[in-house]
Each structure stands twice: as structure tokens, then as C-alpha cells.
Amino acid sequence: MNFSPVRVPLLVLMLIHAGCYDLALWWGHPGSVWLVAVSAGVLCAMVGAKTARRAFYGGISAALLMEVPHLWFLTGIFQGIAVPLWLSLALWPGVFCGTLHVLHRKWGAGAAMAATGRRRGRPERRCGVLPARSSPPSARSGPRSGRPAPSPGLSPRPGGAGGGERRTAPTRDGLAAPA
């Protein structure tokens, strides 16, 4: 038995992409993050269009379907100039789809995966999210850790209520004056 993947028409992929994103945005539930993930997956599936031009235009069209309902208010401000603003915002998903299509056709799926940033290792480091640590901040910063120490002007006072107070800056005579 020979397995061949089902080719979904590009128009259906564009409608699924925009529908999942809009539904997640309008629903506003924390569980709707999975709809955004489906939307991103469908955007990556658009890379499989027949030509790079179709992938590029499919990405632009999907982005316009996703953005225009939320940015319709720009027509009240800029009238007809709102359309180029929408197109400048929709250009980037089109470039993403077109570039990944070319990479996938010329160098294979590995090059396309490398271009999307999929790497081995700790994903929280790549996303900018660091794992929680049990050590106090003073143990993680300073001259021995290689990281700069926090600015004394922005640190809360020890024992201060609320944590939003600033420390006082020392003056020339050694007495503390409010910053």
C-alpha cells in the first residue's frame, strides 16, 4: 500500500488559518492558545503549495484574512491608505511561506526546519523564558557570576512595604538623601 499525503487546497488552508486565529482571539480563553498553534501549523502547511509564488500569495492572503477584521478601524482614520498599511503587515507571513517553500524545494525539509528555528536543546532558553530558580537574585548576579549587579536606584528597600520604593542615593557628605 502506497501512502501519499492528501493535498488540501490553498484556499481551505487560508480559511482555516484565519478562522483559528480569529476564534482564539475572540474567545479569549487561556485554552485557546491551541487554536493559535493550529493556525501556525496551517501557515507552515501552506509552504507545500505548487510554486513559491502561490505560497507567497497564500501567506499574504491568509494574513489579510486574519488582520483586516481587527484593523478595519484604520479605514476611518486613513481612508484608502489603510490598504497599504494592511499589505505591509501581511507581507511578512507571505515572505515566510515563500522562503520556506524555496528552502524546502532546493535543500529539503531539514533546511526548512533549520530556518524556522527548530533546534535541539532547552526550548525555554530559545524563547527567552528562563526556568524558575530557588537561589536569591543576589546569588545570581554580581561580579563573580558574570552578570551585572542590579541598579541600586531601582531595587526595593530592604524591609519596605510594597516593594515599589526606591533606595536613597548617597550624597557627598555621606548622608542619604531621597533620589
- Report domain extents, the chain: 1-120
The strand ranges marked E within the chain are 169-170, 176-177
**Confidence category of residue 155, pLDDT binned at 50, 70, 90:** very low
pTM: 0.59
pLDDT range class, residue 127, cuts 50, 70, 90: very low
Are 154 and 166 within 8 A, CB to CB? yes
Considering only residues 137 and 110, tell me which one the structure prediction assigns the higher pLDDT.
110
Question: Long-range contacts made by residues 7-12, C-beta under 8 angstroms, separation at least 24?
Answer: 7/48, 8/45, 10/46, 10/49, 10/54, 10/58
Q: What percent of the chain has pLDDT over 70?
A: 61
Residue 174 phi/psi, 5-degree rounding, is 95, -10
Give the residue from 63, 104, 115, 108 showing the smallest Cα distance to 86.
Answer: 63
Over residues 110-121, the mean pLDDT reads: 70
Q: Are 65 and 14 in contact (CB under 8 A)?
A: yes
d(CA 69, CA 114): 33
Residue 123: per-residue pLDDT? 46
